[in-house]
């Protein structure tokens, strides 16, 4: 097996599989080790060829060899992002663990969405796996389910991955600020000061993906924009990734307005929980209505997450089940 770097590298003559790992947000020196010491350990443990070039790692070889090397490197990234460092001892332990577990039914690294600053974002449940597949196949996806199922978090990860891969030029994140008394004519005071508290979950998700030093200029230059839903009116967003969070609190009119903002080469994800509608009783939730209106439109996907997809504290799943029984 050969470890090749930069120019002048030679590919193996016969290989049946190739995998590429994007490392744009990863500290390469910490991951690869001084003098590529960490990768040399992986090289020694697996018969695959590993090529380090720029911000990518390419793994070539026979299927099972590539899978093994890919899984080890995936675990190395998780360890590095989780604890902030990676040692030779860590790498040796991970190689031993992955080899012992090799042959599992399903490899979670195949479900990776994005390697964030604070950890790996991946589909961790069957429902999230369906969510990921729908996002890959459709321009607009509706993700509906209870708290803790990763609806918003994964939506932000999909958008950030598309931005980092230069598939879009910007991300626009939006929420109905119902508690702030949002209306289409709402303008008094400083907008950011008034609505930021209601957009905190979106900032939290971005903080997991990016370091503060990288996120700040993206927000300042509006490469990533976080706005209340009312301020989407009148815009056409080309080459953008649009996310509407807490969409159960969008009226039917607001839902239509948001969906018709999508421009050329743009995509959108709409998330919400239809059991948590905060609209006045006389208003119809656009999220409840839209499933019936758009269910047969090509290019639009719907995923229904449930308590089995909850990835927060185990008690969250029990709480959701208990409330569902009482029909609150």
Q: pLDDT per residue over 240-260, tens digit each?
A: 999 999 999 999 999 999 999
Helices (H) and strands (E) in the chain, counts: 12, 12
Vertex 6: Cα angle to 17 and 25 (nearest 5): 80
pTM across the whole model = 0.67
Please compute the mean of the pLDDT values over residues 106-111 and round it to a whole number.
52
Q: Give the closest residue to 121 by CA, choosing from 167, 82, 66.
A: 82
Of residues 210 and 325, which shows the higher confidence score?
Answer: 210
pLDDT of residue 195: 63
Higher-pLDDT residue of 239, 214? 239
pLDDT at 78: 79
Q: Smallest Cα–Cα separation from 143: which of 296, 268, 325, 2?
A: 268
Give the domain ranges of the chain.
3-105, 145-326
Sheet holding 3-5, edge to edge: 3-5, 49-53, 56-61, 17-22
The whole-number pLDDT of residue 248 equals 94
Please state the CATH superfamily assignment of the domain spanning residues 3-105 in this structure.
K Homology domain, type 1 (3.30.1370.10)
* Beta-bridge partner residues of 185: none
Whole-number average pLDDT of the chain:
82
Give the rounded percent of residues in the chain with a pLDDT score beyond 90.
32
Mean pLDDT of 203-219: 88
CATH class of 145-326: alpha beta
DSSP H or E stretch at residue 50 = strand 49-53
Alpha-helix runs per DSSP H in 1-55? 28-32, 37-45
- Mean pLDDT (whole number) for 19-35: 86
């Amino acid at each position: 097996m050969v470890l090749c770097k930069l120019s002048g590298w030679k590919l193996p003559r016969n290989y049946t599989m190739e995998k590429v790992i994007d490392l744009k947000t990863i500290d390469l020196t910490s991951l690869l080790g001084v003098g590529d010491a960490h990768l040399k350990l992986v090289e020694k443990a697996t018969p695959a060829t590993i090529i380090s070039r720029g911000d990518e790692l390419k793994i070539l070889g026979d299927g099972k060899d590539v899978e093994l090397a890919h899984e080890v490197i995936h675990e190395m990234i998780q360890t590095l992002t989780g604890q902030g460092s990676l040692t030779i001892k860590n790498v040796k332990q991970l190689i031993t663990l992955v080899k012992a577990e090799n042959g599992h039914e399903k490899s979670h690294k195949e479900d990776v969405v994005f390697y964030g600053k604070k950890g790996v974002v991946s589909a961790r449940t069957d429902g999230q796996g369906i969510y990921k597949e729908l996002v890959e196949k459709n321009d607009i996806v509706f993700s509906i389910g209870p708290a803790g199922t990763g609806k918003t978090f994964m939506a932000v990860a999909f958008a950030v991955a598309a931005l980092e891969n230069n598939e879009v030029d910007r991300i626009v994140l939006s929420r109905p600020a119902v508690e702030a008394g949002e209306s289409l004519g709402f303008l008094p005071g400083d907008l950011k000061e008034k609505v930021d508290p209601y957009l905190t979950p979106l900032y939290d998700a971005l903080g997991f993906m990016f370091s503060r030093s990288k996120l700040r200029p993206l927000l300042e230059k509006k490469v990533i924009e976080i706005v209340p839903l009312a301020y989407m009116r009148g815009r056409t967003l080309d080459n953008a990734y649009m996310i509407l969070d807490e969409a159960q609190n969008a009226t039917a009119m607001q839902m239509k307005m948001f969906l018709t903002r999508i421009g050329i080469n743009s995509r959108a994800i709409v998330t919400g929980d239809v059991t948590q509608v905060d609209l006045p009783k006389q208003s119809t939730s656009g999220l409840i209505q839209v499933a019936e209106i758009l269910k047969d439109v090509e290019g639009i996907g719907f995923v229904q997450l449930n308590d089995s997809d909850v990835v927060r504290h185990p008690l969250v799943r029990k709480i959701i089940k208990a409330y569902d029984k009482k029909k609150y």
